[in-house]
Copies of this chain bind each other. A is one copy, B any other.
Amino acid sequence: MPRRANAEPLTEQRLLTAALALVDERGLGSLSMRKLGAALGVDPMAVYYYFPNKQALLRRLTGDVFQRMRDVDRSGAWQRRVQTWARTYRRLALEHPNLVIEIVANTDAVMVAVPIANEALEAALRASGLDAEAVEMAVYLIVDYVNGLVLGEVAMRQREEESASFEFALSVIISGLESRLRESGAPPVGSL
C-alpha cells in the first residue's frame, strides 16, 4: 500500500489519539495494530516503529488518560474531597468505558493507572485524621468500590438510577469512616 499523498508524518501522539478514538468509538475489539495503521493511512506494521508492541501502546494510552485524575481539587473538607475524587473518576470512566474495561482486566495497565489515580484520594483521606493504616485501607475501599461501580455501569450500559445509588454509597462509606474516627477519639472532623 503506497503512502497517502497528503499524509502527515506519523508521531506517537497521532497514534495515541487515533488509538483512543478507535477504542472509544468502536470498542476495544476494534483496536488492533493493523486497524490502527489503516486508520492513519499507513502500512499496518508502521506502528511498530513507534511502539514495540500492543501492550506498550495500551500502557501509554492508560497512563495518558489517567493523568487527568491529578487535577482533583486539594482544598476543603476531606469528605468533600473524597466525593469530588470519586465523581471525577466516575466521569473519566464513563468517557472512556472501553479503555477502563481493558485496564481492569490487564495487570500491566492496572499498575500504570492505580498509583496515578490514587494519589489525590490518599491526600484527602490523610486530611481526615485517620491513622496511616486506616488511610491506606480506606483508599482501597473507595477505589475498589468506584472501580466496581464503573465496571458495572459500563458492562450493563444502563445508567438511569445509578447516580442516586452512587451518592448513597459515598455517603454510607463516609458515615462509616466518621464512626471510626469518633471511636478512635480523633480530633474533630474536617481538621487539618
Q: Is residue A138 contacting chain B, with contact meaning CB distance below 8 A? A: yes
Number of interface residues of A (CB under 8 A): 41
Name A176's contact: one of B144, B151, B176 (CB within 8 Å).
Answer: B176
Is A165 located at the chain interface by the 8 A CB criterion?
A: yes
Residue A168 at the chain B interface, CB threshold 8 Å: yes
Contact across chains for A151 and B107 when beta carbons are under 8 A apart: no
Bitwise, A136-153 to B at CB < 8 A (1) or not (0) is: 111011011111110110
User: Are A169 and B144 neighbours in the complex by a CB distance under 8 Å?
Assistant: yes
List chain A positions with a Cβ less than 8 A from chain B: 101-102, 104-107, 110-111, 114, 134, 136-138, 140-141, 143-149, 151-152, 155-157, 162, 164-165, 168-169, 171-177, 179-180
Number of copies: 2
Closest A-B pairs by Cβ, 3 of them: A148-B148, A176-B176, A144-B148
Q: Tell me which residues across on chain B come within 8 A of A102, comparing CB atoms.
A: 105
| B residues in contact with A176, CB < 8 Å | 171-177, 179
